[in-house]
Amino acid sequence: MILAAERVFDGTDLHHDTEVETEGGRIVALRPARGEVMPGTLAPGLIDLQVNGGGGVMVGPETLDTICEAHGRMGSTGILPTLITDTFDATRAVVEVGLDCTHPGFMGLHLEGPHLDPRRKGAHDAALIRPMEDRDLALLLRAARGLPALMVTLAPEAATAAQIGALAAAGAVVSLGHTDCTAPEAQAAIAAGASCTTHLFNAMAGVTARAPGLAGASFDIAAGIIADGIHVDPLLLRLAMTNPRLFLVTDCMAVAGTDLAEFTLGGRRILRRDGRLTLEDGTLAGADLTLPQAIARMGGDARALAMATSIPAGLMRSDRGRIAPGLPADLVLLEGGAAKRVWRAGVPL
């Protein structure tokens, strides 16, 4: 198969009037186009490291394949299904299913909580938030060693430096979030092994002149950000762009890829109105966003494209997110903030 486009992004650079040849589900060559080109930008399949749901369902033991399939059709051919704060038994059940998941879009799991700071709970259920215990650490270490990849969002207030170090040593990406920690406390967690920040500027203390908090400490590590124009002010987005390891996430929920107007989360109604997802009291509860939309909002240039492909892939030590000979032919054609066409291993979705 040969795909030629006005622009081709290889994970680092943009090429104009270029074609990509694939065979057997792999990239064979990248070269100047020899014929007609498709309008839009051909890019590596998008990578989303914070996906709470999609296709009408939230992450759970029975839904991983459904969510991976729904996001593949929207251009994200590699995702981390994300379980937000839940009981130990519910978390263990998702981990057990994840250990056996073979869906090609499944990159591993993101466990966002329950080891958070209840003062910065956001839409998480405060009754389920708790410090990390020995059995939690044992489960997370098993997941880190058995899954393709594991990201764990925790607050420094809810985990010890030894626990953070053990997770990092086992291969987990420890991400700091839903925390009221100070910058020195964040830096101590980073020194222990944390290497990422979850949804930068959200669910953390604000930045002030003498109290930069986690946000201020996040410019030394990777950081995900929700670029929907709602979660983060455009001025702060410009500031965040000074971090070369910044990447895009959707933080999307069950409504992604559907026309649902609402759903329930832990028995609570989540309303979908005017591009927002909120609890009935107005608290933001994830985002109504796709990665193609986020890329377009960030300008659609090579930097924005890298933030949804090679940068998050690199953080998770994956060979996805790039177009180069020998790599999987996961591709997406982007135009106007939408995924017009998607291929996984060279096969159209």
Token duo for residue 129: 């938030």
Question: Could you give the CA distance from residue 329 to residue 325 in angstroms, rounded to a whole number?
Answer: 9
Token duo for residue 272: 């979908």
Number of alpha carbons in the 13 Å side-chain half-sphere of residue 280: 6
Angle between helices 161-169 and 183-192 (to 10 degrees): 40
Smallest CA-to-CA distance from 80 within 296, 232, 297, 251 is with: 251
Contact of 7 with 1, CB cutoff 8 Å: no
Question: Could you give the CA distance from residue 82 to residue 108 in angstroms, rounded to a whole number?
Answer: 9
- The residues carrying an active-site annotation are 251
3-state DSSP of 200-216: CCCCECCCCCCCCHHHH
Strands 2-9, 38-44: pairing is parallel
Where are any strands of DSSP class E within 33-189? 38-44, 47-51, 53-54, 57-58, 78-84, 109-112, 150-154, 173-176
